[in-house]
Amino acid sequence: MKYALILLFLSVFTISGCQQSKKDVLSKIPDPKSLNETYVSNPDGILSAETVAALNSKLSPLDQAGTAHIDVVFVKSIGEHVPKDIAHELFRAWKIGSSETNNGLLVFVVEDQRRIEFETGYGLEGILPDMICKRIQEDYMIPHARNNNFDLAITQGVDALIRRLNSQSAEPYADPATDDPGPAVDIVPPPPIDMAVPAQEPVADSATAASPQTEAIQPLLQQQPVQQRSGPIADWLTICIFIVYAIFAWPIAAVLYRYQFKRQWLNPFAYFITFGPPIFVVYLNLYHPGDWYNVRALLILLAFIWLYVNLHFLILSSLLKASLSGKSRHQQYLVWRKSHEPAEHAVLKFFSFPFLKAYWKNYADAQYQRRFASYNCAACSNPMECLDDDKEDQFLSKGQLAEEKVDAVDYDVWECRSCNNIMILDYSNLKSKVKECPECKFKTLKYRDRKIVKRATRYAPGYGDEYYICANCKFLETIRFEIAQIPTPSSSSSSSSSGSSSFSSSSSSSSSSTSSGGSSGGGGAGSSW
- Each residue's pLDDT expressed in tens, for the chain with a length of 529 residues: 333 334 434 443 444 444 447 788 888 898 888 777 689 999 999 999 999 999 999 999 988 888 899 999 999 999 888 898 899 889 888 888 888 888 899 999 999 999 999 999 888 888 888 889 999 999 999 999 999 999 999 999 999 999 999 886 544 444 444 444 444 434 344 444 444 444 444 444 444 444 554 454 454 444 444 444 445 677 899 999 999 999 999 999 999 998 888 888 889 999 999 999 999 999 998 888 877 889 999 999 999 999 999 999 999 999 999 999 999 999 999 999 999 999 999 888 888 878 899 999 999 999 999 999 999 999 999 999 999 988 999 999 999 999 999 999 999 999 999 999 999 999 999 999 999 999 999 999 999 999 999 999 888 899 999 999 999 999 999 999 999 999 887 544 444 433 433 333 333 333 455 556 667 766 778 888 8
Measured in whole angstroms, the distance separating CA 488 from the mean position of its chain's CA atoms is 26
Distances (CA, A) of 410 to 263, 369, 391, 424, 433: 26, 17, 14, 10, 14
Answer positive or negative: Cα dihedral of 278, 279, 280, 284: positive
Q: How far apart are CA 206 and CA 202, in angstroms?
A: 12
Answer positive or negative: Cα dihedral of 330, 335, 341, 342: positive
Domain ranges of the chain: 1-27
Q: Which residues contact 526 (CB under 8 A, 6 or more apart)?
A: 83, 84, 115, 116, 117, 118, 137, 465, 478
pLDDT of residue 206: 42
Output the pTM of the full model: 0.51
Q: Mind listing the pLDDT tens digit for each residue in 356-366? A: 999 999 999 99
Strands 69-75, 422-428: pairing kind: unpaired
CA angle in degrees (0–180, nearest 5) for 66-69-73: 170
